[in-house]
Amino acid sequence: MEEMNMAKIMMTTPLVEMDGDEMTRILWQMIKDELLLPYIDLKTEYYDLGLEYRNETNDQVTVDSAEATKKYGVAVKCATITPNAARMTEYDLKEMWKSPNGTIRAALDGTVFRTPIQVKGIDPCVKNWTAPITLARHAYGDVYKNTEIKVPGKGKAELVFTAEDGTEIRETIHEFDGPGILQGIHNTDQSIASFAKACFGYALDTKQDLWFATKDTISKKYDHNFKDIFQEIYDKEYKDKFEAAGIEYFYTLIDDAVARVMKAEGGFIWACKNYDGDVMSDMVSSACGSLAMMTSVLVSPSGVYEYEAAHGTVQRHYYKHLKGEETSTNSVATIFAWTGALRKRGELDGIKELQEFADKLEKATLKTIEDGKMTKDLALITSLENVTVLNSQDFIKAIRETMETL
């Protein structure tokens, strides 16, 4: 218990703290009370992104939190509700507010990196994945910003671009003999370049190889443009830095990448176009056991970081909690969002104690699970025997006890 009598670790720059919704909001407070405030003189600039307050401020609070993140450089975010029709009624909303993650991502022009947290006893389905694979998904355009036509019958489909000066580029897509379907997708060089810079920057930051894959053999202009922009930026701005750091940038075709990933050991960053990233991030997280063991960090091309858990607000557990029933909710990814942000803040401000504290808290969290103390979701999939299932609060308390012994 000597830790308790020691002076708290001081911070110089505040973290931007974005509170959230439902069960994760409950866990957020428990984590702060049990694992952070006793050890750190925690400086944060607090924004309440809980749905009630977003509604009250007409979502201005989300915009403000994103601006604060740009100002200070590091944020930590709790899971938030993205409203649907049911939530409109439940929370009596003025309108169906957008996803806060989408708003923040757009404001920071950021790329999301998702990484599974690997722990002994929760083994990935792919046996050779001994180190985590970080998935980077380009979050703009392609099929997610598409325009579609349901073709009623015979006719000619064309792709037309009209320049500012009125000149046209025109290509025939298809001469339809009967009904069919049609879609137009796009991307911008600026968005692709931002994505590339965030990926190269994060690879350097974490000292990991970077893989990128498209289908440029089939899509000779669209996908090839992604390949070319990545290569150009790499050659011009990152090649020397990568070589100095002893890491590699590797480009291949998407089908080859998928085949290689299944045989790889992990420990690299896999950059994907929007759709590939949507699909593959779910494959990677599912193979690694549980979404509650998946961290997420949003990185802007200018090097601003926002850390969060990759999962939602755990609505089902929250309703149980409101009824006074016990819950066993996994807080690991939320704890790792805090440690990621604290470590990064420590790095930027040159506070070694803060970085060491983040390492220690992560180690204590994993050791608690490896010692057989865990929440119900992990107990169901662990290869460890005779484990103890703890409730939400007791699991966090157990981590604190483990931390006191390290």
pLDDT the model gives residue 312: 92
Q: Please give the single-letter amino acid code of residue 227.
A: K
Residue 1 has pLDDT above 80, yes or no: no
Q: Into which CATH architecture does domain 1-116+294-406 fall?
A: 3-Layer(aba) Sandwich (3.40)
What is the pLDDT confidence band of residue 81, given thresholds at 50, 70 and 90? very high
Paired sense of beta strands 249-253 and 147-151, if any = unpaired
- The predicted pLDDT at position 10 comes to 97
Check if CATH label 3.90.180.10 holds for domain 123-145+187-288. no
3-state secondary structure the chain: CHHHHCCCECCCCCEEEEECCHHHHHHHHHHHHHHHCCCECCCEEEEECCHHHHHHCCCHHHHHHHHHHHHHCEEEECCCCCCCHHHHHHCCCCCCCCCHHHHHHHHHCCEEEEEECCECCECCCCCCCCCCCEEEECCCCHHHHCEEEEECCCEEEEEEEECCCCCEEEEEEEEECCCEEEEECCCCHHHHHHHHHHHHHHHHHHCCCEEEEECCCCCCCHHHHHHHHHHHHHHHHHHHHHHHHCCCEEEEEHHHHHHHHHHCCCCCEEEECHHHHHHHHHHHHHHCCCHHHEEEEEECCCCCEEEEECCCCCHHHHHHHHCCCCCCCCCHHHHHHHHHHHHHHHHHHCCHHHHHHHHHHHHHHHHHHHCCEECHHHHCCCCCCCCEECCHHHHHHHHHHHHHHC
Confidence tier at 286 by pLDDT (50, 70, 90):
confident
First to last CA, the chain: 10
Quick: pLDDT tens for 306-342. Answer: 999 999 999 999 999 999 999 999 999 999 999 999 9
**Residue 64, SS3 per DSSP:** helix
Q: Which of 48-57, 273-282, 321-330 has the least mean pLDDT?
A: 273-282
Question: What is the reported pLDDT for 285?
Answer: 83
Whole-number mean pLDDT of the chain? 95
Q: Say what percent of the chain tops pLDDT 70.
A: 99
Mean pLDDT of 241-263: 97
pLDDT for the residue numbered 290? 77
- Binned at pLDDT 50, 70 and 90, residue 291 comes out as confident
Residues 2-40: pLDDT tens digits?
445 579 999 999 999 999 999 999 999 999 999 999 999
130, two tokens: 């001994």
Residue 156 has pLDDT above 60, yes or no: yes
Section 161-167 average pLDDT: 98
Cβ atoms 364, 356 nearer than 8 A: no
Q: Where are the domains of the chain?
A: 1-116+294-406, 123-145+187-288, 147-184
Determine whether 304 is exposed, middle or buried from the number of CB atoms within 10 Å of its CB (0-12, 13-18, 19+): buried
- Is pLDDT at 212 greater than 60 in this prediction? yes
In this prediction, residue 139 carries a pLDDT of 84
CA atoms within 13 A on the CB side of 281: 26
Percent of the chain topping pLDDT 90: 92
Answer yes or no: same fold for 1-116+294-406 and 123-145+187-288.
yes
| pLDDT reported for residue 292 | 85
Encoded tokens for 185: 């997708």
Q: Based on C-alpha coordinates, what's the Rg of the chain? A: 23
pLDDT tens digit sequence for 333-370? 999 999 999 999 999 999 999 999 999 999 999 999 99
Average pLDDT over residues 216-237: 98
